Amino acid sequence: MFERVVWSVIKPAFHFSPRLMYGWRRWLLRILGARIGNAVQIHPSTRIFLPSLLDIGSETAVAEDVRLYNLGPMTIGCQATISQGAHLCGGSHNDQDPTLPLIRASITIGDCAWVCADAFVGPGVTVGEGAVVAARAVCVRSVPPWQVVAGNPARAIRARALAAADK
């Protein structure tokens, strides 16, 4: 609770910073407990729920209007891309219980993975290394490494060509 209050006070300094002040935003997140690698580019319009539950690897880009609703631990690997409007949602409710208790789940995005524009990644999902979640896809199941998924619900459409080149 205390962290959320502190983050709500600091958040304007994050959101109103000029676009190219990536280092400033990395610093703000780090002082709140986030683990942020080198050369990470997080845009000022990115919405983050709890910085202390966020871990982003080096050389990763988080574009405009991304939502990182990290109620549980959220890990984004090195050289990953989270495109504009993507929503990574680490929370839901247990619909099997009449009181609908909150579920706090982790999300993992692997190294070199790409979550494309307006895609949704749900609670408990792992997007494997080099995988692609296509634009507007709804990903509620984990994605194997070097796989491209698309649609609602997201389904595998092909292996990513880079997988053979990297092996």
- pLDDT of 167 above 90: no
pLDDT band at 166 (very low <50, low <70, confident <90, very high): low
- pLDDT of 62 above 80: yes
Sign of the C-alpha dihedral computed for residues 40, 41, 43 and 46 taken in this order = negative
Residue of 135, 109, 111 whose CA lies nearest to 124: 109
pLDDT at 3: 87
pLDDT at 147: 97
pLDDT band at 163 (very low <50, low <70, confident <90, very high): low
Q: Outline where 48-153 has alpha helix (H).
A: none
Q: Which residues contact 86 (CB under 8 A, 6 or more apart)?
A: 63, 66, 67, 115, 116, 117, 118, 119, 120, 121
pLDDT band at 161 (very low <50, low <70, confident <90, very high): confident
Single-letter amino acid code for the residue at 28? L
H or E segment to which residue 62 belongs: strand 61-62
Per the prediction, the chain carries an average pLDDT of 95
What's the CA gap between 1 and 127, in Å, rounded? Answer: 29
Domain holding 76: CATH number? 2.160.10.10
pLDDT tens for 86-144 read: 999 999 999 999 999 999 999 999 999 999 999 999 999 999 999 999 999 999 999 99
What's the CA gap between 27 and 146, in Å, rounded? Answer: 32
* Domains contained in the chain, number: 1
Question: What domain range includes position 105?
Answer: 2-166
Rg (CA), the chain: 16
- For the entire predicted model, the pTM comes to 0.93
